[in-house]
Amino acid sequence: MLHSPIGLREVLLIAGVSLQATVLAYVYDPTWKAILYGLPIPFTLSTLAIQRPVDATNVLGLILLLLFTHGIRLLHNALKINIILSIAICAVGYCVLGYGLVQIVPSSALAFRISCVLVFILGAVMHVILPTKTEPGHRSLLPVWLKLPVIVIVVVMLMLIKNSLHGFTTVFPMVGVIGAYESRHSLWTLGRQIPVLIMTLIPLMVASHLLCARLGLAASLGIGWIVFLAILIPLTRLSLTSTSMTTDA
């Protein structure tokens, strides 16, 4: 018997992703677009939707997210490929790589710990070496009703293949599909935010991983958000200060 991929959790996921993507689209400043892009609302709601505890596949999904975001930038800016086609290529690439990694990545606690350490180091190094660039702002002129069908289609397709992607489903750039299009004039700034997301989302994942069995998935994610914000706020202040100094210079 076939079951619909759309239930209450999926409806909440669609609503959350739609709201985040809409706000991002109508924010002009590229730095704030990137900060909004880095909020793990899709991760939280999709983790609740698939009802899987956080493991190494969630963490390794951050590497694929990094490749997705910078891949779009390289395809569009360097190779001059249409932005929509660039997004489609990178989205398919994310799913293909995610499916392949699911076959070989163990779900053990050791694999989770090793993934956390290595991916966090990668994020920290990239945050240091990637310079801040001044890019033009952009505010969407398209109405919300033109974006909503794309978001719904993306979420439904992910729910259909969620068992094949495991934790990679939760880090798939649901907002990024719209966000990259709306940030097509500031793709470097968008990509530079991913290392910040890595350094803030991994502690959230660790909190959920450690507390899930004792408190349940929802409560563990809630505590993870507290940890996430405690790290994100000072990093954001530092980033805004760096951007301001670069602009003044």
108 found inside a domain: yes
Read off φ and ψ for residue 97, nearest 5 degrees.
-65, -40
123 found inside a domain: yes
pLDDT tens column, 148-187: 788 888 888 888 888 889 999 999 999 988 889 988 999 9
209 found inside a domain: no
What is the crossing angle of helices 41-50 and 8-26, to 10°? 170
pLDDT tens column, 20-77: 988 888 888 988 888 999 999 999 999 999 999 999 999 999 999 999 999 999 999 9
77 found inside a domain: yes
**Total of domains in the chain:** 1
115 found inside a domain: yes
Structure tokens at 74: 């390289």
d(CA 170, CA 162) in angstroms, rounded, equals 9
At 242, is the pLDDT very low, low, confident or very high (cuts 50, 70, 90)? low
Listed in sequence order, the residues at least 6 apart from 220 whose beta carbon sits closer than 8 Å to its beta carbon are: 207, 208, 209, 210, 211, 212, 214
- Closest by CA to 132, choosing from 221, 38, 196, 179, is 196
The DSSP letter of residue 83 is H
Structural domain of residue 130, as residue ranges? 8-196
